[in-house]
Copies of this chain bind each other. A is one copy, B any other.
Amino acid sequence: MVTRDEVAKHAGVSVAVVSYVINNKPVVKEATRQKVLQAIRELGYSPNLTARSLKTRRTNQIGVLFNHIGNPFETGIALGLEHRARKDGQSLIFQTYDPLEEDHLKTLFSGRVDAIILLGQSLKTDTVDHFAKIGVPLFSVMTPDQPNDIVPCADINWYEAYRAMIEHLIRFGHTRIGFMGALNRESYLNVRFRHFRRALLAQGLEFRDEWLVHGSFGSLEMAYKQMSERLSGGTDLPFTAIVCANDLMAIGVLSACRDNGVSVPGQLSIASSENILMSSHTSPPLTTVHYPRPEIGVATIEEVMNHLNTGAPLSSRTLKHEIYERSSTGQAPG
């Protein structure tokens, strides 16, 4: 590898001058500056970022904790993160979060990242404290199931979103509305369920435990299976509409309906959450809560960079959602 020393020698200047040129210090005489740039070009030199990081105590790397890279919702957020991070010259290190190996994070990221972005994971207090202590800020996209006061979040107002969605369903005459959530412990989807339930009750509707269907957040298959079981029993569904905590599950539910001869929205209205690209290409297309994925990714990086650069405290942000009414919801049967 070609180092700064070689460049200095080649240009006939000291190593310091090379640094000045690279870092655009305006102190260098134009002539020497050109000499150095010339040498850099000739040697194909670029500064070793690891060495620079060690010295400057800035890695320009941000850790991002995925739950499941295969989930298009999460990658939609990643798109915004990456786009904005690139502008700021930050690289993202993607890691799949495994609760069983949470302690591993401490060593994994040690001295490697300037900040860590969570995707709704509920970290142990111990872990949170550790990063606070070594000065690595945490910020979460999506409110974790077990929120922590020193981990601010960017999210939408799920309560308002579901309130609007429920109103939409009520206009179609639905009064018994089910929900498909996640079985996973401490999933950020639990937050959505709690808001849904609260919004439902606030509208004077009831919610029975047996109206909660268990899906699994990364997997459409699980949703398909669960719904198929309910449908193949021969007995009628206890609800006329179901709201799914994410689109992947809604697509599974839709498949289950199709395979079991249940018409959507004729016999069952399906509403969903997130609005991933695919949700407008199912048949019928899904009515869903639009989650501003790229925007929230961008906002997250901006918030984090602002903190890193100015020391301003990180603070939570609420972004705007929307209800996309498509044809998977309709008049309640009967």
Contact = CB atoms under 8 A, between A and B. Distances in A.
Interface in A89-128: 91-96, 106-108, 110-112
Contact of A110 (B48, B70, B255): B48
B44 A50 contact: no
B106 A95 contact: no
Interface stretch (A53-61, A169-177, A194-202): A53-61
A46 B106 contact: yes
A41 B82 CA distance: 35
A48 B59 CA distance: 11
A28 interface: no
Nearest to A110: B46
B92 A50 contact: no
Interface in A284-312: none
A97 B47 CA distance: 21
A50 B50 contact: yes
Given A82-B69, A94-B94, A130 B44 contact: yes
A50 B59 contact: yes
Interface stretch (A157-165, A232-240, A275-283): A275-283
A61 B95 CA distance: 12
Contacts of A53: 50
Interface residues of A, number: 50
A23 to B, nearest CB: 13
A76 interface: yes
Contact of A94 (B50, B92, B278): B92
Interface string A54-83: 100001010000000110100110110011
Interface string A201-224: 000000000000000000010000
A251 B61 CA distance: 36
B47 A107 contact: yes
Interface string A250-285: 011011001000000000000000000110011100
Nearest to A293: B70
Nearest to A283: B283
Given A70-B76, A91-B112, A135-B1, A281 B47 contact: no
Contacts of A252: 281
Contact of A50 (B91, B111, B277): B111
Contact of A82 (B83, B94, B110, B282): B94
A40 to B, nearest CB: 11
A75 B70 contact: yes
A252 B277 CA distance: 11
16 contacts: A1-B111, A1-B135, A44-B134, A48-B111, A49-B110, A50-B50, A51-B111, A70-B72, A70-B75, A70-B277, A82-B94, A86-B96, A92-B94, A220-B277, A282-B282, A283-B283
